[in-house]
A = this chain, B = another copy of it.
Amino acid sequence: MLVISKREVERRVLNITSEMARRNLDALYLVSAANIAYVTNFFHIPTERPIAAVVLSSGEKILIVPRLELEHAEKYSYADRVLSYDEYPDEKHPMLVIADYLRGLGLEGKRIGFDVDGYAHIYGYRGPRLSEVLKASYSYERDLIENMRLVKSEEEIRLLRESAKWASLAHRLLQEYTRPGLYEDEVSLRASMDATMAMARALKGIYRPAGWASGARAGFRGQVGKHSYYPHSLTIHAIIKKGDVLVTGATALVSGYGAELERTMIVGEPSEEQRRFFKLMLEARRIALESIKPGVKCSDVDRNVRRFFKEKDLMKYWRHHTGHGIGLEYHEAPFFDIGDNRTLEEGMVMTVEPGIYVENLGGFRHSDTIVVTKDGFEFITHYPEELEDLIIPA
């Protein structure tokens, strides 16, 4: 089965409770959706209704959910117990009910670590901090689970590799379907639909999509032609034309895990300028990749890339760091950034995606997902990277 096993979650919880012991915590209170998934394998749609997972020092995992998620959580989560409150905002605020439940678990006056003190401001949520409604000794322990999530297990890497395959399919279809005159959306929606249906038919019953959207997707998100200059463009219903630079993105959600694959493509014969920036982007990428091995600081990978940008007088085209961790969240710690001095370890999964953004021309960025190995790294994503393989006939 392409899902995280109960045994894997038990291993995680064992690590968590031994770290809780070191930090002198009686309970860990978690509301981040990814942290909840990490400790209970429950995936949900975050709304204004708080959902929390509580890990006790005994290792017991308790989910607290709104009434509408009770049976869903009982069916799909690995929590030992699922408790529920009626609604948000309700006559009694859910945070007060959660406090009652924690009191019932004997946590009043105890030492509680949290990722968020209460609940995040999702949709129309407002409410008190947990520390305002339950007397206890509180500490911010967001790093406790973050530190564990930095290094991926074999099961997690397997899901990410599976994700990468379907992301590749979506991207391949995207490339095949792209032609001048088409809307970016009809290309991306058709590629995403076809890849998703292939994935559903191949994997139905042995994995869980575990997200709002099902399956695989690939698209441009507005990064078409000159508009590819904006690294976080939103869709603009661009019509693809000869001479365009295209920056793509593809992923597929496999039981909560998604790898990232992005490519720069050119529509028709590339111009000299396009060839030049494409080549520089590949060089920056090579420098990043060559820097990756256990023991190297994340910051040094980014520093090496920035040095290249400076040497080649490219800093005016620089817009973002070299990459980020990826797993249960599409961006997560650590970061290939001059400010992140964490050391690379075997099993860390990262994106590598230095980008060059040229006004009135476009963006140049590939992104690949890699896993750090004993000696260096391996690609999780597999897709051609050379310009000649990424030209759209026009």
Q: Interface residues, chain A, CB within 8 Å of chain B?
A: 32, 43-45, 47-48, 66-69, 71-72, 75, 87-93, 115-116, 120-121, 123-124, 126, 142-143, 146, 183, 185-186, 189-190, 192-193, 196-197, 200-201, 204, 208-215, 221, 229-237, 318-321, 324-325, 329-335, 337-340, 359
Across-interface contacts of A339 in B (CB, < 8 A): 87-93
Task: Give complex CA distance A47, B185 in Å.
Answer: 23
Q: Which residue of B lies closest to A335 (CB)?
A: B89
Q: Are A186 and B197 within 8 A (Cβ)?
A: yes
Across-interface contacts of A43 in B (CB, < 8 A): 234
Q: Are B211 and A234 within 8 A (Cβ)?
A: yes
Selected contact of A120 from candidates B121, B215, B221, B331, CB within 8 Å: B121
Most B Cβ at <10 Å: residue of A87, A212, A230, A237: A237
Task: Give complex CA distance A343, B338 in Å.
Answer: 51
Give the Cβ gap from A286 to chain B, nearest Cβ, in Å: 21
Give the Cβ gap from A252 to chain B, nearest Cβ, in Å: 13
Can you list 12 contacts pairing A with B, beta carbon distance less than 8 Å? A48-B331, A67-B319, A69-B232, A71-B359, A88-B335, A88-B339, A120-B120, A123-B330, A124-B332, A124-B333, A124-B335, A211-B234
Across-interface contacts of A123 in B (CB, < 8 A): 324, 329-332
Q: Which residue of B lies closest to A200 (CB)?
A: B237
Task: Give complex CA distance A42, B332 in Å.
Answer: 24
Q: Which residue of B lies closest to A332 (CB)?
A: B124
Q: Besides A68-B320, A88-B335, A89-B339, 13 other CB < 8 A contacts?
A: A48-B335, A68-B232, A91-B338, A91-B339, A124-B331, A124-B332, A183-B201, A185-B200, A186-B197, A189-B189, A189-B196, A189-B214, A212-B221
Q: Are A185 and B215 within 8 A (Cβ)?
A: yes
Task: Give complex CA distance A67, B343 in Å.
Answer: 25
Across-interface contacts of A329 in B (CB, < 8 A): 123-124
Q: Which 9 A-B pairs have the closest CB atoms?
A: A214-B235, A89-B339, A123-B331, A124-B333, A189-B193, A90-B339, A68-B319, A200-B237, A68-B231
Selected contact of A337 from candidates B72, B89, B197, B234, CB within 8 Å: B89
Across-interface contacts of A146 in B (CB, < 8 A): 124, 126
Q: Which residue of B lies closest to A184 (CB)?
A: B214
Q: Are A193 and B190 within 8 A (Cβ)?
A: yes
Q: Are B116 and A121 within 8 A (Cβ)?
A: yes
Task: Give complex CA distance A190, B193 in Å.
Answer: 7
Across-interface contacts of A120 in B (CB, < 8 A): 120-121
Q: Are A115 and B121 within 8 A (Cβ)?
A: yes
Across-interface contacts of A210 in B (CB, < 8 A): 234
